[in-house]
Amino acid sequence: MTPERMQALLAGQTSVAKKVFAALPSSLSTAFTPVDIAREMKAMAGASVDIHTMRGCLACLQKAGLVKEVVPGSFRRVEVKEKHTVTMTKIAAQAGPKLAATQGAQPPMDMLASIAAKVRVAMAGLGALADEIDNAALAIEERSAASEKEVAKVKQIATLLKELG
């Protein structure tokens, strides 16, 4: 998740949910229980929140994708990563002057080898980006399959109710 996406999702939450999110540790190795979160909120703001309200806020944050439940009853923030962007203009701008300067000094085969090496570097960055796209596609597919199962269950219940009624 990018920082911009996290801020957008957090902006759509209630003020209590934002405070619950702020009370969660930012380190990805630590998970808090609702009791730990309540203790942290009490220390931060001096106010306490009803445990049921906090559980509802945690459920909303989890549904939004801001919080993960690592083990039942323990929550932590989702990892925030910067986007990997590859700009081809930078690569072209860097290659242009070097090619002009080295065209007379290097044999054509050496020039082609250096260009190929630069393409390999660019492809490594694109490979990592392709892996992230694959992971996102798998997550979307899992959610879609879960939604389809839920729709099938609802249809089955509806047909049973029609048969009974």
Average pLDDT, the chain: 82
Percent of the chain residues topping a pLDDT of 90: 20
Is the separation of the CB atoms in 34 and 51 below 8 Å? yes
Whether pLDDT at 3 is above 60: yes
Q: What is the pLDDT of residues 63-111, one digit of tens each?
A: 999 999 888 989 998 888 877 665 666 655 565 555 555 555 778 888 8
Q: Which of 14, 6, 24 is nearest to 65 (CA)?
A: 6
Token pair, residue 67, equals: 């919080």
CA distance 130 to 136: 10
Whether pLDDT at 152 is above 90: yes
**Structurally, what CATH architecture does the domain formed by 3-77 represent?**
Orthogonal Bundle (1.10)
Q: Which residues of 111-128 are buried (b: 16+ CB within 10 A; e: fewer)?
A: eeeeeeeeeeeeeeeeee
| Single pTM value for the model | 0.49
Q: What is the pLDDT of residue 153?
A: 93
Q: What is the pLDDT of residue 30?
A: 83
Q: What is the pLDDT of residue 98?
A: 58
Quickly count: other Cβ atoms within 10 Å of residue 164's Cβ: 6
Q: Which residue has the higher pLDDT, 99 or 33?
A: 33
Whether pLDDT at 11 is above 80: yes
